[in-house]
Amino acid sequence: MSLTRAERFARLRLARTDRIGPVAFRQLLDRFRSAERAVEALPDLIRKGGSGHALPSPNRIEDEIAAGDRIGARLIVLGEADYPEMLAAVDPPPPVLWTRGDAALLTQPCIAIVGARIASAGGQRIARGLAQQLGQAGHVVVSGLARGIDGAAHTGALPTGTVAVLGGGVDDVYPPDNAALYEQIVEQGCIVSESPVGHRAQAKDFPRRNRIISGLSRGVVVVEAEIKSGSLITARLAAEQGRDVFAVPGSPLDPRAKGPNELLRQGAILCEGLDDIEREFGRARSVREPGPDNPFEGAPDGVDEALIERVAALLSPTPTPRDELARAADAPISAVAAALLELALSGRATLLPGGMASL
């Protein structure tokens, strides 16, 4: 799909609007059929909801694009042909990606390797060797540029291509002691982030980063991780996205083995080497981009205030499917979807993946 410059600009502007997360972004595109029309309609929706937030100014978006140009970064927006197909299948996909390096790697078969930041020498050797083998077998290795297992995986895959997904902007080198590795990946691989150029990573950015790591990949391999760790969050996200989860077993005497061993108890695939991964990938399966189903099909241009209030009264802190709300409100799903979108823009509802909503 080829997007005009105006549509690309509108999609970036919509993605940077306060309270417009990936779910609301996708629903606005579904409802208005283009970001340009959504941007035109949004001020009225925001004013109607009385939420007090607004679209970012065009100057702010121009500044972000200029900042990307200065460092040679490339912007890829959802809906473009170069947007990674595997990531487009995530519910919901990131609206925009900034990249540095060879963005073509994102469209090749990828597998993630993640694990402990404070990793053992043996764990790092396993990650580095497995990444090297995967690269030689035609896979692009994805990880998060963290210390320990991530860094070892990137290093092993550098000659064949590796992708580093960052929580901050594509110019935010974190941790700083991986600066040399970062520069090598810019030259030989690809740096990716959905955050604006210049953004410094915060704690809330890393779960979003982890969702992209798993979303780009056919599978995720966990090498050393404690029970409460970002690596296990990535594994959970991978399972939710329908991707394979592999775990390298370890000694029960090492706390860093507790995460992979627990994943194995939960049904993860034992990984002792490349053969285990190749065997699993040999099975006939595919992950495709979601179909053209549009919950806003046939939705009225304006949403009845009474319906908005009726839907609001049905919401609770427990996520509820959109079709259940439609049944309870005795209204078409399209009208309920439009009402939920307006409630979300006014801060009175939270839109969740899978057509769910809550207070």
The predicted-structure confidence for 118-141, as pLDDT tens digits, reads as follows 999 999 999 999 999 999 999 999
Q: Write out 248-298 in H/E/C secondary structure.
A: CCCCCCCHHHHHHHHHHHCCCEECCCHHHHHHHHCCCCCCCCCCCCCCCCC
pLDDT at 115: 95
- What is the rounded distance in angstroms from the CA atom of residue 179 to the CA atom of residue 177? 5
In the structure, what pLDDT confidence band is assigned to residue 52 with cuts at 50, 70 and 90?
Answer: low
Name the one residue in this structure whose structure tokens are 């969050």: 233
Long-range interactions of 306-315: CB distance < 8 A, separation 24+: 307/331, 307/335, 307/336, 307/339, 308/339, 308/342, 308/343, 311/336, 311/339, 311/340, 311/343, 312/343, 312/348, 312/349, 315/343, 315/349, 315/357, 315/358, 315/359
- List the one residue out of 137, 116, 119, 110 whose CA is nearest residue 273: 137
pLDDT digit string, tens, across residues 237-259? 999 999 999 999 988 888 899 99
The neighbour count for residue 104, using CB atoms within 10 Å, is 12
Q: How confident is the model at residue 291 (pLDDT cuts 50, 70, 90)?
A: very low
* Per-residue pLDDT tens over the stretch 306-344: 888 999 999 999 999 988 999 999 888 888 888 888 888
Alpha-carbon distance values, 165 to 54, 103, 203, 353 (Å): 29, 12, 15, 22
Task: Please determine, for residue 285, whether its predicted confidence score (pLDDT) is greater than 70.
Answer: no
Kindly tell me the sign of the dihedral angle through the C-alpha atoms of 273, 278, 283, 285: positive
Among 45-49, 70-74, 341-345, which stretch is predicted with the lowest mean pLDDT?
45-49
Identify the pLDDT of residue 106.
Answer: 96
Q: Which residue has the higher pLDDT, 341 or 69?
A: 69
Position 289 confidence tier, pLDDT thresholds 50, 70, 90: very low
Residue 286 has pLDDT above 80, yes or no: no
Question: Which of 12-21, 41-50, 145-154, 189-198 comes out lowest in average pLDDT?
Answer: 41-50
In contact, 196 and 16? CB cutoff 8 Å? yes
